[in-house]
Amino acid sequence: MTDAPARHRKRFGPLLGLAALWLLGTTATAEDDPGARIAHEGNDRGATACIQCHGEQGQGQAQPPFPRLAGLPEAYLIEQMQAYREGQRPNPTMAQVAQHLADDEIEAVSRYYAGMEPAGGPYRVPAGLLERGRGIALEGLPDRNIQSCASCHGEQGQKRSPALPPLAGHPPRYLMSQLRAYAQGSRKTSLAGLMQGIAKALEEEEMAAVSAYFASLPAREE
C-alpha cells in the first residue's frame, strides 16, 4: 500500500518550499521596514498598530468609520499625523497614537502606506444620494459658486497629488464627518482654507450625497 502522506509530501514538496520562502520573505520585509512594523505592531511607547482600525491592507472599515490609508500620498499622511499630534485635527484616538510616534516613525509609516496598492470600497449607498452626489462631485453647484470636487480630486476620486488625498473608497460616514469638521472649522490642516468655504456652503443633505458618491467608488481602477 502506498504511503499517502509520503506521496503528498513528494507531490506538494516544491509548493510547500515556495510557500515557506514566501512567508520568510514577508516576515523579513516587515522586520526590515520600520513603517511596516509600526503598522502591524505599533511601538513600545504606546502607539498601537494601525491595522487594528485601518485593516490589514490599509483599506479602512465602515463601522466605526475608519479611512483607507493604502495608496494615500506620503506628504499628505505625514501632514495629517502631525496635525493630530498638534491638535489641528481633533481626534482623541489618533492624537494618542501620533503623540507616541517620533518624527522618523511618522515618516516611515506614511511611506509604508503610500507605497501600498490603493485599497478600499466600493461601499453600498442609497441610489438617490448617489445620483445627487455624482452631480455635485462632477459639476459642482455653479449657481452657488461651489466648484466640483472632481476639479481637485478627479472624476473617479482616484487622482493622486502630494497634498490632495484621493476620495474614492473611503467609508461614507468618514467622508461625511470630515466635511462636517471643515464646515465647523475644527479641521485646520493646509486644505482648510479651501475646504472650509466649500463645506460651509453645502447643506447637510448635499454633504451626505457627495460622501455617498465617492464611497461608492473603488479605491483602485478595476
Task: Tell whether residue 170 is among the known ligand binding residues.
Answer: no
E strand spans, the chain: none
d(CA 181, CA 192): 10
Residue environment code for 160-183, b if the CB has 16+ CB neighbours within 10 A, otherwise e: eeeebbbbbbbbbbbbbbbbbbbb
Task: Tell whether residue 149 is among the known ligand binding residues.
Answer: yes
Task: Tell whether residue 1 is among the known ligand binding residues.
Answer: no
C-alpha cell at 160: 493622486
Task: Tell whether residue 53 is among the known ligand binding residues.
Answer: yes
Residue environment code for 54-69, b if the CB has 16+ CB neighbours within 10 A, otherwise e: bbebbbbebeebbbbb
Task: Tell whether residue 207 is among the known ligand binding residues.
Answer: no
Grid-cell match 441610489, residue found: 127
DSSP state of 63: T
Query: Distance of alpha carbon 182 from its chain centroid, rounded?
Result: 18
Task: Tell whether residue 94 is among the known ligand binding residues.
Answer: yes
Annotated binding site for heme c: 50, 53-54, 94, 149, 152-153, 195
